[in-house]
Structure 1
Amino acid sequence: MPIDRRHLLAGAAATGAFAAAARATDSRASPMLTGKSILITGASSGFGRATAEHCARLGAKVFATMRNVPRPEAEELRKLARDEKLDLTVLELDVLDEDMVNRAVAEAERQAGGGLDVLVNNAGIGITGPVEVQDMEATRLAFDTNVFGYHRLARAVLPGMRARKSGLIFAISSQLGRVIAPFAGHYSATKFAVEAMFEQLAYEVAPHGIEVSIIEPGGYPTKVWVNRNRYSAELKARTNERHAAGYPGVVARMGSEDGSGRTADVMDIPRAIAEIAAMPAGSRPLRRPVSGGSIPQTEINEVSKKAQLAMLGRSPMAEWVRGVLD
């Protein structure tokens, strides 16, 4: 078997990993993420909020970012940090604003004393309805948040990670980044873009000791549907009848989705993120499906892996590609 970057890094970290595993059985051991600096976007609610709390309780130095600060959610997190003596800092960050992204990352790096260990790209939105009904305002907002926002954050943290020759970038995707549901607006299109961009990034940053993990959640009972209803209702209100006429039933329901019936445990996602972040460098998976129910993308992920290896497995990039995928 050829020795690639992933196997080398995993081997180099083996001694520390075994020691950490041994300590994990001791109730007096340090939490599994102690010493790691983690920046999370979209931490006001949902996966982002849960991940910020979970990682901080596991010993990480957490930078929980959200837009429109001051806001009640920011004060709740700050109070939680004080009450539980967590190393958790709230920073204002709107993923649509590149200057604000760069300032927040620079401040987090200043407080962390250098490049960040982990970025969790999580902030995102959904706008439902037929593709024909999605006007350019809705289309731009969906891609600017879900795709360009992730890109802005990755570009902001990578120089610091490259300087340290280590780092981990998470991209919160979706099952709908691999399979498609009709009438979900451009949500699938944005998540397909996230899947492609961050798999490509994984190959490109492998020589710098940086890893990428794409999390693919199924449906969970977060508040994302509340904002989705607002965006979808606004789109419906400005939709031209000549576009809406082809889908009367679907358009009538836009903005009235009830996401409260979902019962999957939201903590599945923070647990997966923490588990992967605690793995030895070189052993982390490129993709991790997470679901309270079915995981329809599993076969697609396997076929995609085989196709990538068949296309690039003997190319000059083979070492990087195999290191990421194997």
Structure 2
Amino acid sequence: MTQINRRTLLAGAAATGALAAGAGLAAEDIMTATPDLTGKSVLITGCSTGFGRLASEHFARLGARVFATMRNVPRAESEELTQIALDDQLDLHVIEIDVTSDEQVEAGVARAMEINGGPLDVLINNAGISFGGPIEIQDMEATQLTFDTNVFGPHRMARAVLPAMRKAKSGLIINVSSQLGRVIVPAYGQYSPTKFALEAMSEGMAYELVPHGIEVTVIEPGGYPTMIWKNANENSLALLSRADEKHTSGYSALIEQLGNRTGGGSTDPMDIPRAMAEVIAMPAGTRPLRRAVHPGPKPQIAINDLTAKVQVGWLGESGYGPWIKAVHNV
């Protein structure tokens, strides 16, 4: 029997691309075709607005069973999604999960698996938070909340879904990071530190989960016009209102911009759900560790390529080598 692994699957994908080219189709046309997510169960965090809200409806319309989670249910956003699901007969279920709560994470994931009748196929850690401003003015309240949401939240969620995924020997975790998880812009507070941590945690998990048939992909968006900017501005102003002058006095130019930041321009936030859907639809064993998504510059790609080369060069021939090479499709 032919052994199916990442290399053979990639070879098959390459052959498909060659056939498509012979038929007058470009290989990238295959990747940008509308994916079919029929039969996939997907749990997404942070679905009240932004990428999570868009992804939940998009995936359901592609045939997936979607568990759209958010804090503080019931709320207008949860009622809207529930009504859309009823009106359009979508397999979409709204569940309350605050990713900073151990109890809500455990209860929400258990409820999703109960509805699904078994382990989930995909977990998407999308919920995130940001406070602007120099690192020095970030007090412990802001720092702890940022890490609790952006790092410990995805960790809680992964721990909740992984036992069942490991038992099933399959699964996919998608962690939504940022360009700022690989490159740094001053005065974005603890946002980059948390996203750097999420990137490292994701890569470590990706290696460790190879023997269990579970993959991890990091989505790295650039700037998009979502509610994160409005929320970050409000968080930043609240932080400034309680900040001590001894911490703020050295950063007048950086502090001046807080509260009125915008980003993304005319970019389409649907780029992110589309990219995630493509990753979900890919054959197991061929999914990338990282995917940068933005129509403009993607400075993190050079870093991603270099770190992959370093990891393979450093550990590729060690006892961890098969895991490292599998994740980097070597």
Return the TM-score normalized by structure 1. 0.91
Runs of 4+ in 1 over 4 A off after TM superposition: 11-14
Corresponding residue number in structure 1 for 2:184: 180
Q: Distance in 2 between matches of 1:36 and 1:224?
A: 28
Q: Distance in 1 between matches of 2:6 and 2:165?
A: 17
Corresponding residue number in structure 1 for 2:233: 229
- Decide whether the 8 Å contact of 1:5 with 1:207 is kept in 2: no
Identity %: 57
Corresponding residue number in structure 2 for 1:80: 84
CA-to-aligned-CA distance 1:270-307 (integer Å, 9 cap, x gap) = 01111110111111111000002110111101100000
Corresponding residue number in structure 1 for 2:24: none
- Decide whether the 8 Å contact of 1:167 with 1:210 is kept in 2: yes
* SS of residue paired to 1:146: helix
* SS of residue paired to 2:175: strand
Corresponding residue number in structure 2 for 1:91: 95
- Decide whether the 8 Å contact of 1:199 with 1:286 is kept in 2: yes
The 5-angstrom pairing of residues 175-254 of structure 1 reads 175-254=179-258
- Decide whether the 8 Å contact of 1:4 with 1:320 is kept in 2: no
- Decide whether the 8 Å contact of 2:206 with 2:215 is kept in 1: yes
Q: Distance in 2 between matches of 1:256 and 1:143?
A: 23
In structure 2, the CA distance between the partners of 1:31 and 1:136, relative to structure 1 (3 Å rule), is closer
The 5-angstrom pairing of residues 67-216 of structure 1 reads 67-216=71-220
C-alpha RMSD of matched pairs (Å): 2.1
Report the AA paired with residue 51 of structure 1. Answer: A
Report the AA paired with residue 7 of structure 2. Answer: H
Report the AA paired with residue 311 of structure 2. Answer: Q
* SS of residue paired to 1:222: coil
What is the deviation of 1:256? 2.6
In structure 2, the CA distance between the partners of 1:58 and 1:118, relative to structure 1 (3 Å rule), is same
Corresponding residue number in structure 1 for 2:290: 287
Q: Distance in 2 between matches of 1:32 and 1:200?
A: 29
Corresponding residue number in structure 2 for 1:312: 315
- Decide whether the 8 Å contact of 1:13 with 1:280 is kept in 2: no
What stretches of structure 2 of length at least 5 have no aligned partner? 21-28
What is the deviation of 1:178? 0.5
What is the deviation of 1:11? 7.9
Corresponding residue number in structure 2 for 1:6: 6
Q: Does the alignment pair 1:269 with 2:277?
A: no
- Decide whether the 8 Å contact of 2:35 with 2:281 is kept in 1: no
Q: Distance in 2 between matches of 1:88 and 1:254?
A: 37
What is the deviation of 1:203? 0.3
What is the deviation of 1:13? 9.5
- Decide whether the 8 Å contact of 1:31 with 1:59 is kept in 2: no
Larger RCO (CA within 8 A; separation ≥ 6): 1
Report the AA paired with residue 73 of structure 1. Answer: E
Q: Distance in 1 between matches of 2:52 and 2:117?
A: 23
